[in-house]
């Protein structure tokens, strides 16, 4: 009697498992034939490495974005791409790399790409948006901030008051440029200004290319000013005022997809610990800020257009 009861239980369990596998397989098979829109989130600080989450910030890595877009370009189910941007910027090289990765996706696939801005899409965030065919922004979105600025700290007198005298050995006149321990020489200021002007010109050229605007028109407003979405539209930096949903509806119309067409979010794979805790390591800052000795930043946080070559340390405020 007891044995028959166990057999019945095992039979029921096997039936449940078989039904679950069958249902999951059915929906997986159905999804193979579906077509839809891919959404690429570009959120938090931009970095040239891998995307990561830390206790204090989200990082979008250009390497991760490039890989996701290469995979998506080969997926026949994806008929269009929406890029959702909520970022103040970050590494100048990362913004430039993501910009070119999106343009390569468009060239390889011929599929439409629309950018939708969230709270902030400034400086490096706006740089990324310019790769799209069309840009949506909310009227109150903070955007623009096409500018470059050097920021450093000179603690020479403070250290002297504390009785601390740094010693530096170098081979190369400019090897310790930007040092916290002394003021800049006129030659160093000139060298840095030329470098920042070069980055600024690259930024302006890519915005002009992406927006199909004359370079001189972009240059006239590329003074680091922060803009609302409404102001940006009036200047030709944004195409439409609207939300992410408006951008998705526009894409659906362009590629003749119904409202029920799926939206696939392009994101990196997260481990179990990261899914549970929201971060894969306990440090408050991403690895890039702790391991890269020099990093060129394009940052539009709090309305400031910043592109700063800084020694990475606790004093690096974005």
Question: So which residues are the catalytic ones?
Answer: 123, 175
- Mapping DSSP to helix (H, G, I), strand (E, B) and coil, where does residue 200 land? helix
Question: How many residues would you count in the chain?
Answer: 318
Q: Are 93 and 296 in contact (CB under 8 A)?
A: yes
Whether the CB-CB separation of 297 and 92 falls below 8 Å is answered with: yes
Side-chain-facing half-sphere of 130: CA atoms under 13 Å: 29
Spell out the SS3 assignment of 231-267.
Answer: HHHHCCCCCEECCHHHHHHHHHHHCCCCCCCCEEECC
Alpha helices in the chain (DSSP H): 2-32, 62-73, 92-109, 124-129, 156-161, 186-211, 215-221, 229-234, 244-254, 272-277, 287-291
* Dist. CA 227–CA 166, nearest whole Å: 42
**β-strands 52-53, 58-61 pairing:** antiparallel
DSSP bridge pairs for 39? 82, 265
> Which of 312, 315, 308, 313 lies closest to 123, judged by CA?
308
Rounded to 5°, the CA angle 85-90-95 comes to 65
Retrieve residue 76's tokens.
């026949």
CA atoms in the 13 A half-sphere facing the CB of 272: 0
Q: Is residue 307 within 8 Å of residue 196, measured between CB atoms?
A: yes
Give the closest residue to 228 by CA, choosing from 120, 151, 70, 92: 120
Strand partners, 310: 295
């Amino acid at each position: 009697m007891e044995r028959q009861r166990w057999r019945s239980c095992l039979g029921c369990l096997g039936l449940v498992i078989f039904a679950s596998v069958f249902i999951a397989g059915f929906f997986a098979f159905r999804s193979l034939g579906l077509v839809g829109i891919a959404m690429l989130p570009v959120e938090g600080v931009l970095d040239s490495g891998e995307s990561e989450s830390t206790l204090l910030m989200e990082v979008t890595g250009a390497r991760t974005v490039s890989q996701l877009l290469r995979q998506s370009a080969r997926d026949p189910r994806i008929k269009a791409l929406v890029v959702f941007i909520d970022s103040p910027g970050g590494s100048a090289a990362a913004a430039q790399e993501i910009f070119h990765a999106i343009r390569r996706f468009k060239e390889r696939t011929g599929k439409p790409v629309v950018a939708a801005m969230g709270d902030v899409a400034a400086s490096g965030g706006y740089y990324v948006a310019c790769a799209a065919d069309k840009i949506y922004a909310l009227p109150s979105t903070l955007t623009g901030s096409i500018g470059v600025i050097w920021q450093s700290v000179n603690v020479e007198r403070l250290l002297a008051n504390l009785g601390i005298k740094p010693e530096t050995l170098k081979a190369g006149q400019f090897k310790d440029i930007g040092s916290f321990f002394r003021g800049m020489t006129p030659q160093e200021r000139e060298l840095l200004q030329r470098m920042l002007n070069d980055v600024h010109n690259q930024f302006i050229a890519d915005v002009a290319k992406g927006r199909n605007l004359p370079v001189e028109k972009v240059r006239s407003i590329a003074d680091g000013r922060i803009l609302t979405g409404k102001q940006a539209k009036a200047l030709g930096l944004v195409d439409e005022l609207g939300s992410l949903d408006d951008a998705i509806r526009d894409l659906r119309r362009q590629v003749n997809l119904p409202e029920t067409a799926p939206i696939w979010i392009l994101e990196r794979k997260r481990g179990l610990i990261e899914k549970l805790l929201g971060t894969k390591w306990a440090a408050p800052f991403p690895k890039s800020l702790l391991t890269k000795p020099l990093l060129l930043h394009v940052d539009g946080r709090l309305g400031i257009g910043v592109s700063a070559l800084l020694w990475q340390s606790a004093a690096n405020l974005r």
